Copies of this chain bind each other. A is one copy, B any other.
Amino acid sequence: MGAEKNYRLTLEDVARLSEVSRSTVSRVINNHPNVSQEVRQRVLKVIQETGYLPHLAARSLASQRSRILGLVFPRSVAAFFADPYFPRFTQGVAQACNQNDYTLSLFIFYSPEDERKLFPRISHRGHLDGVIVQATTANDPIFSTIRNGSIPCVFAGRAPNSKGFSFVDVDNETGAYTAVSHLLQLGRKRIATITGPLDQTAGMDRKQGYIKALQDRGRIVENELIASGDFSRISGYNAARALLPQSPDAIFVASDVMALGALQAIQEEGLKVPDDIAIVGFDDLPPARSSSPPLSTIRQPIMRLGVKAVEMLLDIIESGNQSPQRMIFDTELVIRESCGSN
């Protein structure tokens, strides 16, 4: 191991020790082809022995690339760290950043104050090489910021007004469609839904999948069976309470966290899940596995979304490719006890 001294070694030092020029050392570090095997080995050895580490700021300044990626959670993603979805996504992003030798820098917005302060840093070229932005409602100021800036960006989730933007997402509509179809196959007659916020595509698309599944089987879509929530547990609880008087025999809930709230409301009413009411959630987060009864749900590959977002972003950065890219992941129906299929 190289000594970890206070004195920082520089390229200059390594060059001297390996008896070549700074340029050559730089080439070795950056894997430039124009270095002879012999010299390369010699330099590598010195680097190894000294524990030399390039100075990131110096490198950024000279190369005009910071090798820092931003991960942005807009203010309208209020639920932020209350829903396990976000930490999990963050984990995927962090992992992929490590893998690719990029540094991850986290931006979480709370107040307009934060935005005023941080938006310039995010959108101006020079600080970040690119950003991953959690998609949210159309009117969040983050959109105009990104649009007016010139920084490479990938959205996590399709944003309502994100035409021309790159994004990673899951097929929300098909996921919901699958969930509701399953419920129909099980013979449920009055299938209700608790939607997510309808100003986000995830909320809209999942609702659309619910509607489509019903229609494809010739069922009538009843508005009294549709309640809306905001992905929070309490909103799921309240929505379920509002739904119960309509005597549904099944509910498709647009997120696991809301489903947990709904489950509680149902049970408090003395009703049994799945006997009286079947439930299918969406996300497949850990809490879904440990509820009583365990929650049937639509699994989405959250961590992989994070990883893919980074890879897509790096591709955009490195290729300079301007045309928007997109990647839609499939979901998977996970059957547990809450839907009563076993």
A residues apposed to B, CB below 8 Å: 4, 6, 8, 51, 53, 55-58, 60-61, 66, 68, 71, 80-82, 84, 86-88, 90-91, 94-95, 98, 101, 103-108, 110, 114, 117-118, 120-121, 123-127, 148-150, 233-234, 237, 260-261, 264, 267-268, 286-287, 290, 292
Contacts and interface: CB of A to CB of B under 8 A. Distances in A.
Contact of A4 (B95, B121, B124): B124
A157 to B, nearest CB: 18
Contacts of A126: 8, 53, 55-57
How many copies altogether? 2
Contacts of A108: 91, 94-95, 98
B95 A91 contact: no
A342 B4 CA distance: 59
Contacts of A51: 120
Nearest to A290: B233
A84 B150 CA distance: 35
Given A6-B150, A98-B117, A290-B261, A81 B84 contact: yes
Closest 7 pairs between A and B when the two form their complex, measured CB to CB: A57-B60, A81-B87, A57-B61, A94-B108, A87-B87, A57-B57, A104-B106
Contacts of A125: 6, 8
Contacts of A267: 292
A268 B293 CA distance: 11
Given A56-B126, A84-B84, A268-B292, 10 more contacts: A8-B126, A51-B120, A53-B126, A57-B58, A58-B61, A68-B105, A94-B106, A95-B108, A95-B110, A260-B290
A91 B98 contact: no
Contacts of A101: 117
A105 B107 contact: no
Contacts of A264: 290, 292
B53 A61 contact: no
A287 B108 CA distance: 22
A103 B57 CA distance: 14
Could you say which of A126, A149, A268 has the most chain B C-beta atoms within 10 Å of its C-beta? A126
Could you say which of A56, A66, A292 has the most chain B C-beta atoms within 10 Å of its C-beta? A56
Contacts of A8: 124-126
A96 to B, nearest CB: 11
A86 B66 CA distance: 27
B120 A53 contact: yes
B81 A124 contact: no
A329 to B, nearest CB: 19
A154 to B, nearest CB: 17
Contacts of A94: 106-108
Given A90-B106, A125-B8, A286 B82 contact: yes
